[in-house]
Chains A and B, each alone.
Chain A
Amino acid sequence: MSMTTRPASARPPAARPATAGAASGASPTAGTSPSPRRRPGDTVGSIRVSVLLAVALALAVGNLHGVLSGVFWWIATLAPIVVVFAVATLTRVLLRRRGWGTLVAAVAAAGLITLLFAADTAILGVIPTGDTWGRFAVLAAEASESITVQAVPADATPGILFLLCSATAGIAIVLDILASWWRVPALVGIPLLVVLSVPSTIDPELADPFFFALVAITYLMLLRPRVARSRPPVAIGLGAVAVLGALVLPLVLPPVAQPSGDAGPAGGLTTGINPMLDLGEDLRRNSPTQALTYTTTSPEGEYLRLTTLEDFVDDEWEPVSITPIPDNDVSAIGTAPGLTTAVPTTPVSTSITINNSSGRWLPVPYPAASISGLTGDWFWEPNGLSVRSAESNMRGQAYEVTSLNVQPTSNQLEAAPSSASLRLAQPPEGLDPLVGETARTVVADAPTDYARAVALQDWFRGGEFTYSEDAPVEEGFDGSGLDVLVPFLEAKTGYCVHYASAMAVMARTLGIPSRVVVGFLPGNEDTSSDAAESSVSEEGEEVELTAFTVSSRDLHSWPELYFEGSGWTRFEPTPGRGIEPAYLPTPVDNPSTPDVDESQVTPTPTATAAPPVAPAPTPTPTTNALGGTEEGTRTLSLWALVIGLGVVLVLAAPGLVRVAIRAARFGSIRAGRLPATAAWFEVVDTARDLGYAGSTVGTPRELEHRLRDAGIAGPTLAALTTLRVAVEREVYAATPATAPGKGRPATPPLAAPPRLAAADPAETAEGLRVVLAGLRSHAGRVAHLRAALVPGTVRDRLRGGRRWTILPQA
């Protein structure tokens, strides 16, 4: 006697699967059939799309982390992203006009950019005026300049931030138009890919596959309803292609901005507008790459000056400005200021090839007389004889410089009259008096300006001070400004910028005109090259040429002091770096022997004569993952490992979540907490993951029928039936465990609830194992693998979709 045969009219077998198929493709709340009630689903769907777009764009912008330093710029870009998508979504929800959302969002974005970058020029801070556009133009020009001169990772200057935020806002609006207005979400992949490709265009190694993968995943989630509607294999294939593309694409994308004539690794050294500002960064960051090579007639090589810094602006050394006027081109450079014919000079000819450096200041020896072979317009300034171009870059240039080797004798320098009245002999305003006091203590009773200068230099190089590129950073006085002088003098450690700046400022407190120069040390003599030691005939004379290579680590800064008659004279206060000028060491008259041998009597710790360049302190292990050092390789492998693990983890996450859920259910069964229900849920989820059932699962009996129709038989079916009976008893044959204790007493059921034995935990667990094994083996390996890797039920959980209702709490 049974009525298990269900009326055919009551529930056609096809009804649920058909509905389930539609439901699996629709958005969580969009309903399961195309009924007219789609409003709430539209709202939720549009919010979902906006959130996904915002996440994708934020991640894509985040991929720039290799190009820009710090994270502030990324946080800044979140503002336009959030504003655009929030405003667009809100407008759509309120007005129910898709296009209006985008338009209002665009206006809001414009207001935000104005507020962030030109609030003082705008009405109420957000309504742009004519001045606002001027400000934007200035910012854009500044950004363009910064981008050209900065090395990666570059500092996010206000200009760059402006450009970044504006571009992000623009792309956000484009994404919004594509996905929410035109309803073609598949196309958002193109702008996202463009954003993702930006680092690759600078340097392929700057792109981060991890971010590619994250954006790809977000993109797939965005497309998911469409993909899922087609076929699961399509979704899996698409996902695999996207992830694979994310890993491979950054490696194969061609770098488009790589300049020609480049030898050596990408990246290299870049000197900024004010090379001094980033000098410490450059020294610390770059693995030594070859910056330039030169051959010169000067046997010990040449200091190559980039820029001269004379004045303070906002307590920072400021490079001299160069007016690009046509008649000061570099074919004839003016004479060195203050240099008289009484000082012996020898002409030097230097041939410089820039390899792997970029910037607008040209490295030239001092004092240069003429430069030839340059491309582009280059101009010089009369005080420091620095050479700069407004548009051209030094990268790839090869040029000849004729300059003078100025060899003043100590006597000449000693005899120089005081120049304390000159502008550059005045200490900067706001200087801590301690600096002057220290200077006077150091020089003590030195009789002349020159003797005082030497005393200062000796004090720095005398062993009391140590060279460190990192200590200033760690102790918080990194930089070249006035404010770091006192901490530096107290800590007695720092690098060239500190020494140069300190000595220059201290000299000014003593009435000696001074300035700071940023440039390159002479570098290392290149004995291996064919160019080295070769003899070249020049104007009939045999001239000995020496080849040098200059690396990025030879970037340097030093002070120049002015002595009447000799002009600007180089000093070298940085301990362990550079060569002391030949005229320095001798207080006694020792004319015409500008030989390096004299350095033997200097108190410097690096008093060896033979190498023209004192050995640089051991570079700190580079943290640059792209370097070729052993540490670099190891770091690279580590990163590859971390990224690989991350990708694997992300890919495996759904499967792991599924395993955790299964384990929790077995735990629930063992503990006897609704064991049959927990077991049945596991059966339901497994059946769905394996593709036996759609997203809508009906009653236990219906699932059992469906599985039986799918071919489940034998012990699996028997165990399934046992579980089904148990769950029916557990869920439907008992009152809720907690009796209602408040309000009117619940009317007792006409009969006492049937007393049925609770499911035995051990048997339930065993039965569940039998069913799961049977379902898996029957589904086949492919379905099993798919269920293990991309379980659909986990996806449903993420969507918040439940397949059944929760019992109302008693």
Chain B
Amino acid sequence: MNSFPAKFERGHADVALASALPMPEDEFLGAAHQILAAIETVIDGKREAVEIALTVLLAEGHLLIEDVPGVGKTMLARALARSVDCSVSRIQFTPDLLPSDITGVSVFNQSDREFEFKPGPVFANIVIGDEINRASPKTQSALLESMEERQVTVDGKTYELARPFTVVATQNPIEMEGTYALPEAQRDRFMARISMGYPDPAAELAMLRTRATSSPLDAISPVVGNAELESMIATTRNVFASPVIEQYAVSISQATRRDPDLRLGASPRATLQLVRAAKTRAALDGRAFVLPDDIIALAIPVLGHRLIAAGRAGATIGGYSGATVAQIITRIVADTPVPLTSRGVL
């Protein structure tokens, strides 16, 4: 977990990304299938959550996993990281965690007689932020810049982060003790939020047996390399979203801003990430174009944690009024006409 990449100088990662070429469809699907299979050896019966996690990874987004303790949030994050052969770091957020514990510090090198930057754990391809809402807001906000700008500024110097860069954060519901709510701005930086949910009895039983002997994580070996991952990301970027689909996504976002049941609607970044995630979902479905169904399927994971319900429903601020917001999103999606026609057709 401490294998920091040597290349964090500015501009380097961009060149690496640009050089990544899309891969053929069957190759892409094969790789994706391997990743999913690897994760599912650890996380059993959570196909939806796993698929969205992979979608976010390939869409270069950040994932927020929110649920009660002990349902496998961290397990999912680690399994996702283990299945890809890239740099992974893990930060356990605690109330006394400092921003420099995340970004890194400049220390005085006695031999060179100058300050030297020691990169923090954020300099990795996949950063697992465990129980992110246990840290103080100051520390949480240290992640902000890195998540959106994909760079870190320490002592006035800006350092580029690795590419691909994905933050997989877990958090407990706000009602739990010792938690600080993630502010709206920070929540908005996550592409999607998922919750694990309790496993069904069969999955729980199976878990008991497999965990008895060894940690299942040890069994996971990386199935795709870093270069392959970048190539997969490039593939998802190539998926075609027709103007119809873009219009559809915009219509849904606009509707959330107008809806009287919502105090805060979807940001333009949300629209952007909705389409981006939909492209990845389409690619994972073996399609080269986005369907409205992709948008619909991702509406709640992508929009759910960004919206704030108005009135009574909004009393539980902090992204934990999930059920109510999900209902509102479901209604908005149902009310937004699906683009299905074109000129000249009766």
Residues of A bordering B, CB below 8 Å? 1-12, 15-16, 19, 32-33, 35-37, 661, 664-665, 668, 673-674, 677-678, 680-681, 684, 696-702, 727-729, 731-736, 749-751, 753-754, 802-810
Contact = CB atoms under 8 A, between A and B. Distances in A.
Nearest to A754: B288
Contacts of A734: 242
A733 B240 CA distance: 7
B334 A19 contact: yes
Contacts of A5: 47-48
A7 B48 contact: yes
B274 interface: no
B202 to A, nearest CB: 18
Interface stretch (B108-116, B132-140, B165-173, B289-297): B289-297
B344 A754 contact: no
B293 A753 contact: no
Contact of A696 (B36, B237, B245, B334): B334
Interface-centre pick from B243, B244, B293, B301 (highest chain A CB count, 10 A):
B293
Contacts, number: 169
B32 interface: yes
Contacts of A668: 344-346
Contact of A1 (B29, B289, B330): B29
A734 B243 CA distance: 9
Contacts of B340: 677, 680, 684, 697, 699-700, 727, 731, 803-805
B130 to A, nearest CB: 24
Interface residues of B, number: 55
B260 A732 contact: no
Given A11-B296, A674-B344, A754-B289, A736 B337 contact: no
Contacts of A731: 242, 244, 339-342
Interface in B48-100: 48, 51-52, 55
Contacts of A810: 243
B315 to A, nearest CB: 20
A10 B183 CA distance: 24
A15 B338 CA distance: 15
B300 interface: yes
Contact of A701 (B52, B281, B291, B334): B291
8 contacts: A3-B285, A6-B296, A9-B326, A668-B346, A731-B242, A750-B238, A753-B240, A805-B341
A1 B337 CA distance: 29
B7 interface: no
A27 B309 CA distance: 28
A751 B238 contact: yes
A33 B326 CA distance: 17
Given A15-B330, A696-B334, A732-B244, A681 B346 contact: yes
Contacts of A702: 293
Contacts of A750: 237-238
B343 A10 contact: no
B308 interface: no
Given A32-B335, A699-B293, A806 B341 contact: yes
Given A674-B344, A751-B240, 18 more contacts: A3-B297, A8-B48, A9-B300, A11-B330, A36-B260, A668-B345, A668-B346, A681-B345, A699-B338, A702-B293, A733-B240, A803-B340, A805-B341, A806-B341, A806-B343, A807-B247, A807-B343, A808-B247
Given A10-B300, A699-B340, A732-B290, A678 B346 contact: yes
Interface of B: 22, 29-30, 32-33, 36, 47-48, 51-52, 55, 237-245, 247, 251, 260, 281, 284-286, 288-293, 296-301, 326, 330-331, 333-335, 337-346
Contacts of A19: 331, 334-335
B237 A677 contact: no
A732 B291 contact: yes
A177 B281 CA distance: 57
A750 to B, nearest CB: 6
Contacts of B298: 10
Closest 10 CB pairs of A and B: A751-B238, A733-B289, A754-B288, A804-B340, A805-B337, A1-B33, A699-B292, A1-B29, A7-B48, A10-B297
A664 B285 contact: no
Contact of A11 (B237, B289, B297): B297
Interface-centre pick from A15, A731, A750, A753 (highest chain B CB count, 10 A):
A731
Given A674-B342, A732-B289, A804-B338, A15 B331 contact: yes
B293 A701 contact: yes
A2 B289 CA distance: 14
Given A3-B281, A804-B339, A661 B346 contact: yes
Nearest to B36: A1
A751 to B, nearest CB: 4
A807 B289 contact: no
Contacts of B345: 665, 668, 673-674, 677-678, 681
B284 A35 contact: no
Contacts of A809: 343
A3 B345 CA distance: 31
B46 to A, nearest CB: 11
A755 B286 CA distance: 15
B291 A681 contact: no
Interface-centre pick from B238, B247, B338 (highest chain A CB count, 10 A):
B338
Given A696-B334, A699-B291, A749 B339 contact: no
Contact of A732 (B245, B285, B331): B245
Interface-centre pick from A32, A803, A806 (highest chain B CB count, 10 A):
A806
A528 B136 CA distance: 121
A664 B19 CA distance: 51
B326 A1 contact: no
B150 to A, nearest CB: 19
Contacts of A802: 337, 341
B36 to A, nearest CB: 8
A457 B94 CA distance: 130
Contacts of A803: 337, 340
B302 to A, nearest CB: 10
Contacts of B251: 805
Contacts of A661: 346
A15 B333 CA distance: 10
A765 to B, nearest CB: 15
Nearest to A699: B292
Nearest to B279: A750
A524 B343 CA distance: 76
A753 B337 CA distance: 24
B344 A733 contact: no
Contacts of B36: 1
Nearest to B47: A5
A807 B339 contact: yes
Contacts of B244: 731-732, 807
Given A15-B331, A731-B244, A805 B339 contact: yes
Contacts of B48: 5, 7-8
B32 A754 contact: no
B265 to A, nearest CB: 15
Nearest to A12: B330
A466 B239 CA distance: 94
Contacts of B52: 7
A50 B9 CA distance: 73
Contacts of A700: 340
Contacts of A680: 340
A735 B243 CA distance: 7
